[in-house]
Structure 1
């Protein structure tokens, strides 16, 4: 008997359930999007392995035609982004010490390079570079070492406005930590009503780049 075709997400897409609404991130196109209510309901039934309703087959094939799904044999189906560990503490837990001057200057330089990198290369390539660096890094530092980077980048915020720069700041912080033998999670999250996207850095259950309250409204949509 011929097995029914199933569907998966292409590698450039990730999805989360943000309060009952599916939100997608296409890193190749550097955009967020949602589906119409009827198609969103079809996609939810697919993820939940629920009984399909009339019209679902046609809508799923339409998502394949739009590049939102890929048909695949077997029992695989798309899933929501898996959230990292819930943070228990944030950068306020670090002592408010004065970072070494050279470390602060290195953080400024890393942020500058990352801003330029995002202007000349695609988001997909920049994120892929972070994933590759993590994959080739053997974690040698303990959680306490993250404090040095958190403090250094908080001092950078006093020199350079962090407004609307959570993405380059987070990528720069991740790169600095990886170079120091710390393997963090780079998290992109979204919230609705109104729509906003945010990016932050975690190391295990420690929120390195933010305050706990700042990320609370956001649902992770991509974790690297």
Structure 2
């Protein structure tokens, strides 16, 4: 069985004022993605404390900022991409629902963000096949 080909997603580069936050989120996402699932959940729950839920438009804007600056995050690196999106949202005072999940036929693992009850930048037909294994929402 050959691996699933993931198309490269691109977006236009964000405005200059938005780039420092996006670059910081991209830089922090890499070491966070290497944590164990337990430690990653703890770190993201800590970071989400006191945040406000983001809207779908804000989450989409954050996703476009990440994809506009990093070709690396436009492909199969969904864990790093989703963490970076959550972090850039947090730098703006908000937090999306950060999710990871698995699909069993065929087996796949995936990470994404949700806002306003929908997965941001994901194919709605494909994302429904994933069973959510971890979700970090806004903490109080």
| Equivalent residue in structure 1 for 2:94, among 163, 182, 185 | 182
**Structure 2 length normalisation: TM-score?**
0.71
Q: Does 1:166 align with 2:98?
A: no
Give the C-alpha shift of residue 173 in structure 1. 0.8
In the alignment, the residues of structure 2 paired with residue 141 and residue 189 of structure 1 have an alpha-carbon distance, to the nearest angstrom, of 21
Check the 8 A contact 2:100/2:135 in 1, yes or no: yes
Q: Does 1:108 align with 2:108?
A: no
> Structure 2 stretches of 5 or more lacking a match?
1-10
Check the 8 A contact 1:202/1:209 in 2, yes or no: no
In the alignment, the residues of structure 2 paired with residue 140 and residue 190 of structure 1 have an alpha-carbon distance, to the nearest angstrom, of 24
2:58 corresponds in structure 1 to 145
**Structure 1 length normalisation: TM-score?**
0.48
Check the 8 A contact 1:186/1:200 in 2, yes or no: yes
Q: Does 1:154 align with 2:81?
A: no
- Residues matched between the structures, number: 126
1:92 corresponds in structure 2 to none
Relative to structure 1, is the Cα distance of residues 216 and 179 closer, same or farther in structure 2, using a 3 angstrom cutoff? same
1:215 corresponds in structure 2 to 127
- From the two aligned structures, give the one with the greater helix fraction: 2
Q: Deviations over 1:140-165 (max 9, x none)?
A: 765433332122123235x3253331
SS of 1:126's partner is helix
> Structure 1 stretches of 5 or more lacking a match?
1-95
SS of 1:186's partner is strand
Q: Deviations over 1:9-66 (max 9, x none)?
A: xxxxxxxxxxxxxxxxxxxxxxxxxxxxxxxxxxxxxxxxxxxxxxxxxxxxxxxxxx
Higher relative contact order (CA 8 A, sep 6+): 2
Q: Deviations over 1:119-159 (max 9, x none)?
A: 3x43322221111222232x1765433332122123235x3
Find the structure with the greater CA-based Rg.
Answer: 1
Check the 8 A contact 1:188/1:197 in 2, yes or no: yes
In the alignment, the residues of structure 2 paired with residue 199 and residue 193 of structure 1 have an alpha-carbon distance, to the nearest angstrom, of 17
| Equivalent residue in structure 2 for 1:136, among 44, 47, 50 | 50
In the alignment, the residues of structure 1 paired with residue 105 and residue 53 of structure 2 have an alpha-carbon distance, to the nearest angstrom, of 41
In the alignment, the residues of structure 2 paired with residue 122 and residue 172 of structure 1 have an alpha-carbon distance, to the nearest angstrom, of 17
